[in-house]
Amino acid sequence: QVTEQVTEQVTEQVTEQVRRLLVALAGKELGTRELMESLRLSHRPTFLYDYLKPSLSGELVEMTQPDSPKSPTQKYRLTEKGRLTIISLQGRGE
């Protein structure tokens, strides 16, 4: 019951940009450039502020190298919360 409520609250707060990022990361780890290409974005600040930062702060996505955030080999992957959010969104037909 509690998990259901939390998931529902989270999915209501997920923007279209964050949803697209989560779907792009489903089942894989991607770097910034790969993610931007997958989302068909070319403007890095838009990607960072509208897609990546909200996903990280919402704990939907995590860094593969949290101790080296600016590493050139940094990649991102879904957290358990991110996976549950995707499932919840799909269940609602979004």
Residues 41, 69: Cα–Cα separation, whole Å:
21
Q: How far apart are CA 28 and CA 8, in angstroms?
A: 24
Is residue 3 pLDDT above 70, yes or no?
A: no
Residue 60 in contact with residue 84, Cβ under 8 Å?
no
> What does the pLDDT look like over 30-65, one tens digit per residue?
999 999 999 999 999 999 999 999 999 999 999 999
Q: What single letter denotes the amino acid at residue 31? A: G
Cα dihedral sign, 47-30-53-66 = negative
DSSP structure class, residue 50: I
Residue 4 clears pLDDT 70, i.e. is over it: no
User: For the ranges 5-9, 66-70, 79-83, which has the lowest average pLDDT?
Assistant: 5-9
Distance CA 94, CA 90 (A): 6
pTM of the predicted structure, to 2 decimals: 0.83
